[in-house]
Structure 1
Amino acid sequence: MNRPAFPIDELLPRIRESLAAHPRLVLEAPPGAGKTTQVPPALLDEPWLQGRRIVMLEPRRVAARAAANFMARQRGEDVGETVGYRIRFENRVSARTRIEVVTEGILTRMLQDDPMLEGVGALLFDEFHERHLAADLGLALALDVQSGLREDLRIVVMSATLDGERLATFLDAPRLSSAGRSFPVSIAHFPARREEALEHQTRRAVEHALTHHPGDVLVFLPGQREIARTHSVLENSDATRGIDVLALHGELPVEQQSRVLQPDPDGRRRVVLATNVAESSVTLPGVRVVVDSGLAREPRYDPNSGFARLDVANIAQASADQRAGRAGRVAEGWACRLWPESQRLEPQRRPEMAQVELAGLALELAAWGDANLRFVDAPPPGALAAARELLQRLGALDGGTITPLGRRMLGLGTHPRLAAMLLAPSNRDEQALACDLAALLEARDPLRSRSDAVAERWQALAAFRAGRVAADASRSALAALDQQARQWRRRLRLEHAPPSNAPAHLLGDVLLHAFPDRIARQHPSDPYRYQLANGRSAKLFDDSALYGEPWIAISELRDDPRDARVLRAAPLDEQRLREDFQRRFVTEDRVVWDANARGIAAVRETRFDRIVIESKPLAKPDPSRYADALVDAVRQLGLRALPWTPSLAQWRARVRCLRAWLPELAQGPAALPDLSDAALLDTLDAWLKPALTGKTRLDALGEQELGEALRSTLEWSQRQRIDALAPVRIAVPSGMERAIEYDYDDETDAPVAPVLAVKLQELFGLADTPRIADGRVPLTLHLLSPGGKPLQITQDLRGFWDRTYPEVKKEMKGRYPKHPWPDDPWTAAATHRAKPRGT
């Protein structure tokens, strides 16, 4: 094959020079520049590679196959010789392979199985701008390997649209950019008509393009469903007669994908209906027109199913620009956008890390043994904590440590829920059922009915295998399910056909291993309501096929703060549940706070996880458990349930203010404690529980005991420092001591200025406003009349004497003639009394 020229060619010497001098590189190049297929071969003979392999991460299977095939043809070889690829369920590499194109899950497995990456000299991350979670994880693992084990490992991050400067800074890497090769592209908007379906809007745009513009037409649609509908509509259009209408997506057979990626042998014009796989990962010859729906199917966490689902979403502006650029690869082009020009798109694609469920990531981190990896964007802490809780239930983690089962789950390369279910059965029939259920959970629903029974879907699959298709079932969906289940059996080395029939509870007995948090028991007083193992509850629909089942395993659940609904489930056998999860059935005595009775209740409970199966009152509970129950009461009722005195509330405010005024007092080993509501509630067991020991009622806690509990974490020197820096009272020139009032504003999370309320006559002779906290904080003076009424509020006492006092004296002298009102307050004697008689 004659090698064509690519825009990236002129940059290849600089890429080689950079990697010879530095182990990391950020490479920016637009679609069509040739980075995917030209950079790996250009590095094969570099001295630092020492004959080792180059592994390139490609986010999509279509692109992985296409890139490997193109590079192999350039060398006049078959795939699997110098250049090969590995994707899910398909391996085309050999001992001779030196460039290996892999999809995301494959790279993670390589790193986990061999952190030294023996035989690998370079990792290339292609299309990194798509920000898939697996790519972010792969890069974080690679950086960890490079920093600790393999300083000679080269890491190249390649992207078409990305904030390259930010990434280069993060990686501490050089940044190279290729201008690419493109021609001008005219942009037009082609909004939908009222209530017009996407396929009909697309047909109008394609017909316009074929009539008014030359070249092939590339249409971007969200997914297979939209592609199929649009294909059907275009087949009946007069404008597409004699034109080849083709589909391009990841589920097509390899032969059909290859056909789309080659020019038409008869020179006919083509309309290619593609998912975003055509956005940057593959090259389509002859395209002069792009019709862009502005939509893509992207992973989003679906709380109904517990998995990430592909939802239709608006693309980012960077993706829209990239798609439009596809029209300008060979000549001037035209891009038609199917959304209004006034609609604004997000500038860049959001990282998958921020919008999917993280159980798979948490399991990978546990297997790696270090959760503190360097991520371009760190995993959200809340989502990561929820993922670890799920892994505990699945048996994949023990504490924070991965279990042997967890390692086996990781080896399957699928969501931990599915992996746990696939590995749980001990007999071959149930293993085959697990493969069927894994396929059902991953795929779109094969039934058109709204039934909530998992059994009906499996029975439709079993009927399809027997040559029957139910009236409400999709033949194509069932065929895809059958194929996926067969692949899972092959993956598990299970040479056993699935059973032709199975009782409904057997499906639930297998399914419960994927959803241990959604095992549910019928509520004793409401047959439509179920208590879940995770502590929540949910209701069946009125026409549910599951009505009357005592136990169910829920695979889909519509969460709702008011009333969650069971969307899909299967009944299970309680005896089997007790056998499989024996350790989660417990009987224990509990002393708990009863919020309704506002008192302590002592009961003996039998539970499965958080499902209470039986509860009986206890006549003689263990007294040592009362303190725990009283602490729970405070958690429920809040800190206001405690006997706060005004002086204790002031002490707490003083400590909180000092931490804000003097930041050094909030840090280090001698730091003052955080006494905010949140901090006190989080640490109730440490400071309050000892004070409640031996008590059976919350109101038995005395005011003094509460004060000592709060101060219990302070050293004597810290207590003295608080009194010195934030005194309760302060001496004034009259010789008296007056109280300082402290306050802390929880809404603004900031101290309120401390207040000293004092009669004006007591401050005669004092020039400057008193200060506390090592002189950093002035007091707010509430200057009072002899009768205790406010005259002035100020933090500038000197200014008050100079400017305001003469007016105050004039007004007050007649009202309070028995009190001193000197002309010169600077030299007058301060007093808290009236003038002596006769003066």
Structure 2
Amino acid sequence: MPLLSPLPIDAALPLLLAALEAGPFAVLVAPPGAGKTTRVPLALLDAPWRGDGRIVMLEPRRLAARAAARRMAQTLGEEVGETVGYRVRLDNKITRKTRIEVVTEGVFTRMLLDDPELTGIAAVLFDEFHERSLDGDLGLALALDAAALREDLRLLVMSATIDGARVARLLGDAPVIESEGRAFPVETRYVVPDPLARLEDQVTAATLEAMNSEPGSALVFLPGQAEITRTAERLAGKVPANTDIAPLYGQLTPAEQDRAVQPAPRGRRKIVLATSIAETSLTIEGVRIVIDSGFRRVPTYEPATGLSSLETRRVSRAAADQRRGRAGRTEPGICFRLWNEGQNSALDAFDTPEILAADLSGLALDLASWGVTDPKAMAFLDSPPAPAWSEAVTLLKGLEALDAQGRITPEGRALARLPLHPRLAHMVHCAAGENDALTAAEIAVLLGERGLGGAGIDLAHRLDRFRRESGRRAEEARNLARRWAALVGNKSGSGEDAGRHLARAYPDRVAQASGARGRFRLANGRAASLEETDALAAAPYLVVADLTGSAANGRIRAAAAIDRATIEELFAGQITSETVLAFDKGARSLRARRIRRLGALRLTEEPLAVPTSEEAARLLAAGLAETGIAALPWSKDQNALRARSTYLHQTLGDAWPDLSDPAIAQDGAATLAPYLSGHAGLADLSADDLAGFIEEVLPWARRAEMDKLLPSHFAAPSGSNLPIDYAGENGPTLEIRVQELFGLDRHPAVAGGKVPLLLVLLSPAHRPIQTTRDLPGFWRGSWKDVAKDLKGRYPKHYWPDDPLAAQATARAKPRGT
């Protein structure tokens, strides 16, 4: 090995080599810039226990994997692919000479599942384990299982910021080796943020100040691609003339990413605008300035909706330290933090492990492939949350990848052979049966590699453009799609129906136009939208592959159109049909419809005749009760009975039923329902339909008892039989012409004489002239004045001076006068 310039990690290497000589597991904690990523794998090449076995080092990102391999190869004076190589998605530089393989964590999981004993591998190094990616946690858990079969297998967990003791316990109390100090000191300055300024404006101001006051190149950390683009626009034309601006984020091509991390040409400076992709395992030559916005964008999974969304959050203290360390990789540096120093204590100590906030369906399928149905059987640093695990198992059962007991099925094994999310694997596998696997595999590539085929939302258009794209990245992506198609035994694919394939992967995200243009309802019940100007906004149906935002209203980022006939074909077994009865308040009648649904979507709806059923009668009764019992066609006699019974209820208590409108609406609708059977609405009903209800609540015997207590009519001295009104607010009331009461010396009463009637005394023209609850008092008191007035208005009628001695009459004058 050539002579190397000293790095802080060098002092820890003897202890590390001794620990791995003595036992299979170790933990290495080294701060940023110590050199662990490029020094440790090379130091292990000469370890006696390695023999001819390969060393595999895991990196969380493709960029870091390529950069680490390239740096180690340069150290050895070789090309990548000789002693040191890398293996990442869409790129592979491995040969028979390779003894150190730098791989992404997802690639390592596939290696383990294909070969559980890791044949030919002497050691596995988990670099930057503090990032706690889902693939990293799974890889370590599976590797620990593999180590039980391989006593000679070495496992080393490396990180700059991690609870080393906790990881050591997971590895059976493995030794922890710590490396002290950074390569170069880094000064930290805090920039007080302006709460009213946009983040991009604050970052731009800080960057310009740093570039004008400090030498060297700068690395600027921003949450995502959008902020990078806006900051680049603000910096353009304002930076020194010898300064280049280079974006760095995951959706760039490998060549574009590599250009961003390469040193600036002699005499020039560089500003690298990066996401958290540049936090770890990456040395950007010439960078001695770091501007940290303090934010990062992280995926958050919602088990309730089965969707992941991106959220912008504050960085953790550990991530902030990682970012700060980028400034001291090659020389003393300076870090500008866009927050108050006092805010540091409010930051989370570490980032949330992905296993606690991610979609676990891929993890569940991989564990099932490993023969594990309960994640508690594995050595995870943090156990998967029960809700997300349950949601993942439910999804896999829906894809027929797991059986009822959670064990993997032949379909599941077929999906597990594909290095894809289970949804996409299911899509490709189903397409093989339709002789169109390559099309589905191409769509899977587009979903995993943003930017291919353009940045449009319509995946059908992107697919068409992708097939015609030139360039290395596009060709490598097409080759990858061909390999995936070959894994399912079908390389055919010239289909154009992207929506059909996507529906296999996302049956819960089939969407139907809902309301205004660009608004959609997903089968899982979630709402989503597009810009009104987007061509897909007018589609009646879509399949949504990617969306962001809240569960109430997501923003569609990738989708394809699908027609209803295809939905009917693909989901014939899941489409339900039901007859829905509803009460139409406006028409005061029932409406029946036959509705066919896919989840929350209404595919078709047609009117039906209202069935004759108990349910319909109950619904009609409840609807009428809600809109008003008074609207029912009660007869005059029925209303009188209701009023008398209600009055008895009010005066004598619950022994008598309350048949007022509110009481029937609240309590009696269920009793009323049987008498509405066979009717669709208010217009169909008559008093005869309600007679049974009255008979049930007031049978003949009760009505006879009622007649004794509250007679329906009053027998006047004149011989008239007049109805008593029990529904008035003033109690039992009798309207009667005054001359029909002549000669009556006691006040009329009901309830055994206990309740006096309210007498509304009328003129011969039936106009009220007096109300009283004391008829004898009226005769003796105000009658004279009333009679005088009546004589003037009705001279042909008989108005005696002494009404108690006069004969009652229903005529103008008593007979014989």
Partner-residue secondary structure (3-state), 2:86:
strand
User: 5 Å matches for 1:789-828?
Assistant: none
- The match for 1:230 is 231
* Residues 545, 558 of structure 2: 8 Å contact kept: yes
2:503, 2:237 → 1: CA distance?
Answer: 47
- RMSD of aligned residue pairs (Cα, Å): 4.4
- The match for 1:357 is 359
User: 5 Å matches for 1:336-735?
Assistant: 336-343=336-343, 344-370=346-372, 371=375, 372-399=377-404, 400-426=406-432, 427=434, 431-432=438-439, 435-436=442-443, 439-440=446-447, 443=450, 455=458, 457-459=459-461, 462=464, 486=478, 488-493=480-485, 502=496, 506-519=497-510, 536=525, 553-555=543-545, 570=560, 572-573=562-563, 576-577=566-567, 579-581=569-571, 584=574
Cα deviation per residue 1:804-835 (whole Å; 9 max; x = unaligned)?
A: xxxxxxxxxxxxxxxxxxxxxxxxxxxxxxxx
Cα deviation per residue 1:630-672 (whole Å; 9 max; x = unaligned)?
A: xxxxxxxxxxxxxxxxxxxxxxxxxxxxxxxxxxxxxxxxxxx
User: 5 Å matches for 1:46-65?
Assistant: 46-65=47-66
Q: 1:187 to 1:541 in 2, by over 3 A?
A: closer
Q: 1:257 to 1:361 in 2, by over 3 A?
A: same
1:561, 1:64 → 2: CA distance?
Answer: 36
Cα deviation per residue 1:713-750 (whole Å; 9 max; x = unaligned)?
A: xxxxxxxxxxxxxxxxxxxxxxxxxxxxxxxxxxxxxx
2:228, 2:594 → 1: CA distance?
Answer: 59
2:286, 2:465 → 1: CA distance?
Answer: 45
2:600, 2:169 → 1: CA distance?
Answer: 48
* Residues 460, 560 of structure 2: 8 Å contact kept: no
Kindly state the Cα deviation for residue 52 of structure 1 after the two structures are TM-superposed.
Answer: 0.8
* Residues 303, 559 of structure 1: 8 Å contact kept: no
Kindly state the Cα deviation for residue 252 of structure 1 after the two structures are TM-superposed.
Answer: 4.3
Number of residue pairs matched?
591
User: 5 Å matches for 1:90-105?
Assistant: 90-105=91-106
- The match for 1:165 is 165
Cα deviation per residue 1:376-422 (whole Å; 9 max; x = unaligned)?
A: 00100110000111111122222212223322322332222222222
Kindly state the Cα deviation for residue 202 of structure 1 after the two structures are TM-superposed.
Answer: 2.2
* Residues 393, 517 of structure 1: 8 Å contact kept: no
* Residues 521, 601 of structure 2: 8 Å contact kept: yes
1:586, 1:529 → 2: CA distance?
Answer: 24
* Residues 390, 517 of structure 1: 8 Å contact kept: no
The one-letter amino acid of 2:38's match is T
Kindly state the Cα deviation for residue 560 of structure 1 after the two structures are TM-superposed.
Answer: 7.2
Partner-residue secondary structure (3-state), 1:398:
coil
- The match for 2:312 is 312
Kindly state the Cα deviation for residue 261 of structure 1 after the two structures are TM-superposed.
Answer: 4.2
TM-score w.r.t. the length of structure 1 is 0.61
Cα deviation per residue 1:22-47 (whole Å; 9 max; x = unaligned)?
A: 11101001122111111112112222
* Residues 327, 333 of structure 2: 8 Å contact kept: yes
Q: 1:255 to 1:496 in 2, by over 3 A?
A: same
* Residues 111, 141 of structure 1: 8 Å contact kept: yes
Partner-residue secondary structure (3-state), 1:122:
strand
Kindly state the Cα deviation for residue 375 of structure 1 after the two structures are TM-superposed.
Answer: 0.2
Q: 1:483 to 1:206 in 2, by over 3 A?
A: farther
Q: 1:459 to 1:246 in 2, by over 3 A?
A: closer
2:511, 2:271 → 1: CA distance?
Answer: 50
Cα deviation per residue 1:778-805 (whole Å; 9 max; x = unaligned)?
A: xxxxxxxxxxxxxxxxxxxxxxxxxxxx
Kindly state the Cα deviation for residue 556 of structure 1 after the two structures are TM-superposed.
Answer: 5.4
Q: Which moved further from structure 2: 94-103 or 286-295?
A: 286-295
Kindly state the Cα deviation for residue 580 of structure 1 after the two structures are TM-superposed.
Answer: 4.3
Q: 1:194 to 1:512 in 2, by over 3 A?
A: same
The one-letter amino acid of 2:446's match is A
* Residues 422, 435 of structure 1: 8 Å contact kept: no
2:419, 2:234 → 1: CA distance?
Answer: 38
1:252, 1:610 → 2: CA distance?
Answer: 38
Kindly state the Cα deviation for residue 425 of structure 1 after the two structures are TM-superposed.
Answer: 1.6
Q: 1:304 to 1:552 in 2, by over 3 A?
A: farther
- The match for 2:211 is 210
Kindly state the Cα deviation for residue 280 of structure 1 after the two structures are TM-superposed.
Answer: 2.4
Partner-residue secondary structure (3-state), 1:55:
strand
Percentage of identical aligned residues: 44
Partner-residue secondary structure (3-state), 1:227:
helix
Q: 1:393 to 1:205 in 2, by over 3 A?
A: same
Kindly state the Cα deviation for residue 233 of structure 1 after the two structures are TM-superposed.
Answer: 2.9
Q: 1:254 to 1:533 in 2, by over 3 A?
A: closer
2:499, 2:255 → 1: CA distance?
Answer: 39
User: 5 Å matches for 1:127-206?
Assistant: 127-147=128-148, 149-171=149-171, 172-193=173-194, 195-206=196-207
* Residues 58, 124 of structure 2: 8 Å contact kept: yes
Q: 1:101 to 1:605 in 2, by over 3 A?
A: same
1:198, 1:530 → 2: CA distance?
Answer: 32
Kindly state the Cα deviation for residue 297 of structure 1 after the two structures are TM-superposed.
Answer: 2.7
* Residues 128, 158 of structure 2: 8 Å contact kept: yes
Q: Which moved further from structure 2: 343-352 or 566-575?
A: 566-575
- Structure 1: unaligned runs, 5 residues or longer: 468-477, 595-602, 622-839
1:547, 1:69 → 2: CA distance?
Answer: 46
Cα deviation per residue 1:146-176 (whole Å; 9 max; x = unaligned)?
A: 13x1122111000001111222123221101
* Residues 519, 530 of structure 2: 8 Å contact kept: no
1:253, 1:566 → 2: CA distance?
Answer: 24
TM-score w.r.t. the length of structure 2 is 0.63
Structure 1 residue 321 and structure 2 residue 321: aligned?
yes
Cα deviation per residue 1:574-611 (whole Å; 9 max; x = unaligned)?
A: 55456545654689x99x9x9xxxxxxxx999986798
Q: 1:322 to 1:24 in 2, by over 3 A?
A: same
1:232, 1:519 → 2: CA distance?
Answer: 38
* Residues 310, 548 of structure 2: 8 Å contact kept: no
* Residues 547, 558 of structure 2: 8 Å contact kept: yes
1:526, 1:251 → 2: CA distance?
Answer: 33
Kindly state the Cα deviation for residue 73 of structure 1 after the two structures are TM-superposed.
Answer: 2.0
Partner-residue secondary structure (3-state), 1:219:
strand
Partner-residue secondary structure (3-state), 1:318:
helix
Partner-residue secondary structure (3-state), 1:513:
helix
Kindly state the Cα deviation for residue 10 of structure 1 after the two structures are TM-superposed.
Answer: 1.9
1:312, 1:391 → 2: CA distance?
Answer: 30
Partner-residue secondary structure (3-state), 1:397:
coil
Cα deviation per residue 1:448-474 (whole Å; 9 max; x = unaligned)?
A: 99xxxx65x53366368779xxxxxxx
Kindly state the Cα deviation for residue 132 of structure 1 after the two structures are TM-superposed.
Answer: 0.6
The one-letter amino acid of 1:298's match is V
* Residues 304, 559 of structure 1: 8 Å contact kept: no
1:289, 1:30 → 2: CA distance?
Answer: 18
1:609, 1:309 → 2: CA distance?
Answer: 22
Q: 1:222 to 1:387 in 2, by over 3 A?
A: same
1:417, 1:99 → 2: CA distance?
Answer: 33
User: 5 Å matches for 1:102-117?
Assistant: 102-117=103-118
